[in-house]
Amino acid sequence: DGGITQSPKYLFRKEGQNVTLSCEQNLNHDAMYWYRQDPGQGLRLIYYSQIVNDFQKGDIAEGYSVSREKKESFPLTVTSAQKNPTAFYLCASTRGSTEAFFGQGTRLTVV
């Protein structure tokens, strides 16, 4: 079955640590996105990539980094510079330009 796979489902980070969230898709979609979801704030765009080896900052990119070395993969690193990383992170990809398909999310908690 085609889809978007995010892993892990739950992730715990200690203060000062970098952590990487995985996002893989087998839909052959060109564009991929990372969103952060906090209660009452909806989805906020962190980074997006339209093609391999190219990506752009979204509205809240500070403290995050990404790479797009393969079409299928768009990992997100939450660095120690991100002061409030506890949130639900969602990866998405788009077919054409209109339909965004989402993964099941990774819940990151700082301990």
Partner 1 sequence: QKEVEQDPGPLSVPEGAIVSLNCTYSNSAFQYFMWYRQYSRKGPELLMYTYSSGNKEDGRFTAQVDKSSKYISLFIRDSQPSDSATYLCAVLYNFNKFYFGSGTKLNVKP
* Residue 55 binds partner 1 (CB under 8 A): no
Which residues lie across from 99 on neighbouring strands? 95
SS3 26: coil
How far is it, in rounded angstroms, from Cα 4 to Cα 35? 14
Q: CB of 63 within 8 A of CB of 82?
A: yes
* Residue 85 binds partner 1 (CB under 8 A): no
Return the residue of 21, 25, 35, 64 that touches partner 1, per CB under 8 A: 35
Tell me which residues touch partner 1 (CB under 8 A).
4, 6, 31, 33, 35, 40-43, 45, 48, 50, 88, 90, 92, 97-105, 107
